């Protein structure tokens, strides 16, 4: 009889150890963290304790993620409330930059809008290449700065930018602008990072702009 046959027999006959309960104390197996043998029943207790510790660690991790998500949601909510309460376009843009810098610690923020007009930097001319890039974004883009034209919006800081995030700004299905977050830290915005909250920020910017453009 090979080990597979023994395992299959025990699986098919769960009452085996009920009939031979004393056998549990007589069977000794290697200790999982030592070089000595212990009863099978003790080994089961150790295994259960290890599983319990793993479950506790996973639960702690999930609670931490939940708390972090709650904190980010609160920041996004504050940003949305501030922009929607702004009295004019200049105030909308000021709220956007302030909240992203203070609440989210984003060092560089730039926005361009190509619908409507105003004597503000955010309405500066934008090339068709940038507009096409924005229209093609189904989700926010995060990754290294590979020479994006939009990075030049940051003027003197542009040469130091190592990572970027781009969010299309929409009025329903029409893309009317592009929001860029940027950092000198190459790992601040990376391709594998979650983009749910970035997407929501882009949507909030679009909603705030609809009152004025």
pLDDT tens track for 86-139: 999 999 999 999 999 999 999 999 999 999 888 999 999 999 999 999 999 999
- Which of residues 63 and 11 earns the better pLDDT score? 63
- Which of residues 76 and 38 earns the better pLDDT score? 76
- Residue 114, φ and ψ in degrees, nearest 5: -115, 20
**Residue 130, CA distances (Å) to 28, 152, 178 in order:** 70, 12, 8
Confidence of residue 42 (pLDDT cuts 50, 70, 90): low
Average pLDDT over residues 166-184: 96
In this prediction, residue 40 carries a pLDDT of 57
3-class DSSP string for 169-212 = EEECCEEEEEEEEEECCCCCCCCCCCCHHHHHHHHHHHHHHCCC
Per-chain mean pLDDT for the chain: 87
- Residue 190, φ and ψ in degrees, nearest 5: -135, 155
CATH code for 59-209? 3.30.450.40
In this prediction, residue 34 carries a pLDDT of 59
- Residue 45, φ and ψ in degrees, nearest 5: -65, -45
In this prediction, residue 117 carries a pLDDT of 84
Average pLDDT over residues 147-151: 96
In this prediction, residue 70 carries a pLDDT of 86
Model confidence, pTM: 0.73
Among the ranges given (63-72, 103-112, 123-132, 147-156), the one the predictor scored with the smallest mean pLDDT:
63-72
SS3 content of the chain, % helix, strand, coil (to 5): 55, 15, 30
- Which of residues 5 and 184 earns the better pLDDT score? 184
Q: Is 203 exposed, middle or buried (0-12, 13-18, 19+ CB in 10 A)?
A: middle
- Which of residues 185 and 19 earns the better pLDDT score? 185
In this prediction, residue 33 carries a pLDDT of 61
Enter the tokens of residue 50.
């290890």
Q: Is 120 exposed, middle or buried (0-12, 13-18, 19+ CB in 10 A)?
A: middle
pLDDT at 29 over 90: no
Domain ranges in the chain are 59-209
In this prediction, residue 57 carries a pLDDT of 77
In this prediction, residue 28 carries a pLDDT of 57
Average pLDDT over residues 42-71: 78
């Amino acid at each position: 009889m090979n080990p597979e046959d023994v395992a299959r027999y025990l699986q098919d006959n769960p009452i085996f150890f009920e009939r031979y309960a004393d056998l549990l104390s007589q069977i000794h197996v290697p200790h999982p963290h030592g070089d000595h043998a212990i009863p099978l029943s003790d080994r089961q207790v150790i295994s259960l304790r290890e599983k319990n510790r793993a479950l506790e660690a996973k639960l702690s991790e999930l609670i931490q993620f939940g708390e972090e998500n709650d904190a980010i949601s609160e920041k996004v909510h504050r940003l949305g409330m501030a922009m929607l309460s702004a009295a004019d376009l200049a105030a909308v843009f000021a709220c956007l930059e302030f909240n992203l810098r203070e609440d989210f610690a984003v060092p560089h923020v730039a926005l361009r809008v190509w619908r409507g007009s105003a004597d503000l930097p955010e309405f500066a001319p934008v090339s068709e290449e940038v507009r096409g890039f924005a229209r093609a974004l189904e989700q926010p883009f995060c990754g290294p700065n590979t020479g994006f034209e939009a990075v030049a919006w940051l003027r003197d800081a542009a040469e130091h930018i190592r990572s970027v995030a781009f969010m299309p700004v929409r009025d329903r299905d029409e893309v009317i602008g592009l929001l860029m977050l940027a950092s000198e830290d190459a790992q601040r915005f990376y391709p594998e990072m979650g983009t749910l909250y970035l997407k929501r920020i882009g949507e909030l910017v679009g909603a705030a702009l609809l009152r004025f453009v």
